Amino acid sequence: MTIQIDEQSTGNVIEPVIGALRARLGDRVTTAAAVREQHGNTLTWLPIQPPDAVVFAENTQEIVDLVKLCAEHRVPIIAFGAGTSLEGHLNAPHGGISLDLTRMNKVLAVHREDMDCVVEAGVTRMQLNEHLRDTGLFFPLDPGADATMGGMAATRASGTNAVLYGTMRDFVINLTVVMADGSVVRTARRARKSAAGYDLTHLLVGSEGTLGIITELTVKLYGIPESIRSAICTFETIEGACDATITAIQLGLGLARCELLDEAQIEACNAHSKMDLRPVPTLFLEFHGTPVTTREQADMFAGIAADNGGSDFQWAERAEDRSKLWAARHEAYWAARTYRPGTQAIATDVCVPISRLAECVVETQKDIAETGLVGPIVGHIGDGNFHVLLLIDMDNAQQVMAAHDFLDRLVKRALAMDGTCTGEHGVGTGKMKYMKAEHGPGVEVMRAIKKALDPHNIFNPGKVV
């Protein structure tokens, strides 16, 4: 089967829609160029494609009305959270409305005994953790940016401690979603598990705003660990670092974070933070548990590391000592960005089975070197996931071309290893061209679902499928 998704153009139907929205929402509808541009693309090298208007919603009912209006007039709706996506998820190639959810930022309930909470989609993860401060609970997911909960669900976000706690796929218990016909669906109950029907929760998680608008979420929380122990350890080779990680996971060591910084990234951190780290592959680790268990984990890891060519193993338990150990990792993104002044940083990611990770990273390093690019690598290696931060002079057409070609090769390399074109950044428009290679006839299944649930293609058109 081949499913055709309609491409609509908004043309002149947008004006009456904006008029109707203004009548209802007043100055929460704006067509100011600066606001539209800020909502039309962020943090990516894809050209900006601004929406026709930006609407700031305050509750689910307003979104129901907006969806019905836009469905009637075939006007695209692009849900907007913190604007930290990296693959053009927020571009408006067909114009339409950017639906800004950041004013829907209430924590609606915290259930201590159930270890979950109910939030509006615009709550950010840092805001949530601030809110939880006195409960002994926390929301562990940490994708770096202070993203919104709705945005993290829509993009299936992940980050540094997914190796222990899982990705947004694992955190979401249920979602409240406005569908294309204006119906409001709660995708599941608040029970921790269910075998009652199709898993709408996970269908919506990662759908990048193309199947419905997420307005509320129930997510799992965890107890703040009694003891957190951090460690760093250097390795002579990428293989050594990966092998140590694989062994630790096989032994059930319970790594909470396991981050690899490659030689180039360590050099960038040294330059940025006036540090003096040895420019070799380095693991940044964190163990969560009781003082007894984290001590045992750290000791065991030290032994495993030594067996795999690791050295300079250091650990710390006190908060300020932990911060010192992790300073380089926390600064990695900004260090890389300032490593070559005047360049733009192009962040990308792939994910492979962990047995292929060392090979994939080493081949990628060689590819970067041969292409003459600069691209430090940071990996969430417990998951087999790593980032390349290409530092590109965007005025140098040859370099831009070389970067494009490199990204193609990176994805092909990951796919050839039974990996994915993106472990956590998502598809947006940037990685649509790889969907067929990754999913084969599965793309047609996705398109059939899209067509069934959004027959007029109003939700984030031109993305994902």
Ranges within 125-144 binding its own copies (CB under 8 A): 136-137
Sign of CA dihedral 415, 437, 155, 392: positive
Determine which residue in the list 146, 181, 307, 312 makes contact with its own copies, applying CB under 8 A.
181
Residue 347 within binding range of its own copies, rule CB under 8 A: no
Q: Could you say whether residue 375 binds its own copies (CB under 8 A)? A: no
Q: Is 207 in the site for its own copies (CB under 8 A)?
A: yes
| Three-state DSSP class for residue 20 | helix
The region of 198-206, 278-286, 336-344, 394-402 touching its own copies under the rule CB under 8 A is: 198-206
Q: How far is the CB of 273 from its own copies (least distance, A)?
A: 29
Residue 196 found at the interface with its own copies (CB under 8 A): yes
Nearer to its own copies, 73 or 425 (CB): 425
Contact between 151 and its own copies by CB under 8 A: the answer reads no
Q: Which two tokens stand for residue 356?
A: 């292929």
Distances (CA, A) of 242 to 95, 262, 281: 45, 12, 10
Residue type, 360: C
Strand 227-235 relative to strand 77-80, pairing: unpaired
Cβ proximity to its own copies: between 358 and 374 the closer is 358
One symbol per residue from 6 to 45: x for binding its own copies (CB under 8 A), - otherwise; what is it? Answer: ----------------------------------------
Least distance CB 416 / its own copies (angstroms): 11
Residue 432's CB is within 10 A of a number of other CB atoms, namely: 17
Question: At CA 111, angle to CA 288 and CA 109, rounded to 5?
Answer: 120
Task: Return the number of the residue (149 or 211) whose C-beta is nearest its own copies.
Answer: 211
Write down the least CB distance from residue 191 to its own copies, Å. Answer: 4
Rounded to an integer, what distance in angstroms lies between the CA atom of residue 345 and that of residue 461?
Answer: 27
Q: Can you tell me whether residue 377 is helix, strand or coil? A: strand
- List binders of its own copies among 388-427 (CB under 8 A): 414-415, 418-427
- Cα separation, 245 vs 381, whole angstroms: 8
Tell which one of 55, 269, 352, 368 touches its own copies (CB under 8 A).
Answer: 352
- 74-113: contacts with its own copies (CB under 8 A): 111-113
DSSP code for 157: -
Judged by CB under 8 A, the chain residues 264 through 293 that form the site for its own copies are 288-290, 292-293
- Cβ atoms 461, 7 nearer than 8 A: yes
Q: Total binding residues for its own copies by CB under 8 A?
A: 98
Q: How far is the CB of 388 from its own copies (least distance, A)?
A: 16
- The token duo for 194 is 């269910």
Please identify, using beta-carbon distances, which residue of 402 and 435 lies nearer to its own copies: 435
The tokens for 407 are 């990204």
Supply 460's token pair.
């984030």
- Residue 114 found at the interface with its own copies (CB under 8 A): yes
Which of the 8 DSSP states describes residue 279?
S
